[in-house]
A and B are shown apart, each in its own frame.
Chain A
């Protein structure tokens, strides 16, 4: 089966994560599970990649993290999108539209 190339998708991991955080704050495994579900098993994000993305996003002020106890008593780090994160997400969406528009001109079936 054709696999998704991590080089290609790398630039959009941030977009994917921000999209999922727009609805509500979430934690690492839930995010990776949602990515998997929404991509219908076509994209499995690696734990290390996900964590790198979190630190990068947090460093840039697009998300913040806080610790919260889950129902089962386990303490987890939750991530929440910030206002500048929302703005960045919009920018990335526009960027993608442009990218898609350009690349598609060079794709022939």
Chain B
């Protein structure tokens, strides 16, 4: 029912805020509520009922004519001499309705008075979700690259232990080169990720709201992703905690110094990097959904 209420609110935003419009909204809301209750009683699911009501709903243009007519035309009181039937005088209140007062037209802009309200459709919401997800993915990858970067020098020096002279220096240098390349790549990805988000900065200005269909869609999308969010988060945390296992393992069973001093420590960074990647990405869809839903709050 809340969805329908929002839908109607949105529909009526394009109408001037007059008594007539307010009465129309109340009356249509009441009809819709009756219909909704009956559909639910007939065993229809909430989503089906909302869908049915919205598809069967007329357009606001149907109302513009009659509301406009009331404001422009002279409003005549219904026949004063008319008396309601005896049987129906019981409980009758305030008949007939008083003439409609014409008020100064003020457009309701919702959160902002003068700026135009921007309605976000399902397609737009979906595009936002895609962009947010991708941006989060890039951010995760960028951070992971930065974390993995130190493995270069570690592995480089571990390998160079096994060589002398030129090859030893070569591997050490290669490790350092890897460090810089990985950091550069990581920073690049992080910058790219925030650039991707800039396109949607208008959302932050607080003049946009979701249309009701989009809101319903986003709500479902969020619900669908909650379980995968916790799985990814748990996996990320487990990876971070377990990152020290290889180094402990190689430390206890020190077979080669190459393993205990090179592979072990390097794996800390690799596994932590993967863990952080998962943690950052776990909430990529739900956070985007929350941001969209927050617009209507």
Contact = CB atoms under 8 A, between A and B. Distances in A.
Interface of A: 24-25, 27-30, 32-33, 44, 46-52, 54-56, 58-61, 63-69, 74, 76-78, 80, 82-84
A20 to B, nearest CB: 14
Given A28-B34, A29-B35, A84-B79, A52 B63 contact: yes
A66 B92 contact: yes
B57 A66 contact: no
A66 B84 CA distance: 10
A46 to B, nearest CB: 3
Interface in B1-46: 20, 24, 27-28, 30-32, 34-35, 38
A49 B62 contact: yes
Interface stretch (B64-72, B108-116, B170-178, B229-237): B64-72
B91 interface: yes
B56 A46 contact: yes
A52 B59 CA distance: 11
B95 interface: yes
B201 interface: no
Interface of B: 20, 24, 27-28, 30-32, 34-35, 38, 56-60, 62-63, 65-67, 69-70, 73, 75-76, 78-79, 82, 84-85, 88, 91-97
Contacts of B20: 55
8 contacts: A29-B31, A48-B63, A52-B65, A58-B96, A64-B79, A64-B97, A66-B94, A66-B96
A64 B96 contact: yes
Given A25-B88, A52-B62, A55-B67, A64 B78 contact: yes
Contact of B58 (A47, A64, A69): A47
A47 B31 contact: yes
Contacts of A54: 27
B82 to A, nearest CB: 5
Contact of A64 (B27, B28, B31, B82): B82
B95 A52 contact: no
Contact of A59 (B28, B59, B73, B82): B73
Contact of B93 (A32, A46, A59, A66): A66
A46 B57 contact: yes
Contacts of A44: 56
A87 B214 CA distance: 48
B58 A46 contact: yes
A66 B95 contact: yes
Contact of A47 (B32, B76, B96): B32
A54 B30 CA distance: 14
A46 B19 CA distance: 22
A106 B66 CA distance: 33
A80 B88 contact: yes
Contacts of B84: 25, 64, 66, 80
B15 to A, nearest CB: 11
A56 B96 contact: no
Nearest to A48: B58
A5 to B, nearest CB: 15
Contact of A48 (B35, B57, B73, B85): B57
Contacts of A74: 30
A50 to B, nearest CB: 7
Nearest to A55: B66
Contacts of B67: 55
A46 B97 CA distance: 23
A52 to B, nearest CB: 4
A43 B16 CA distance: 31
B28 A48 contact: yes
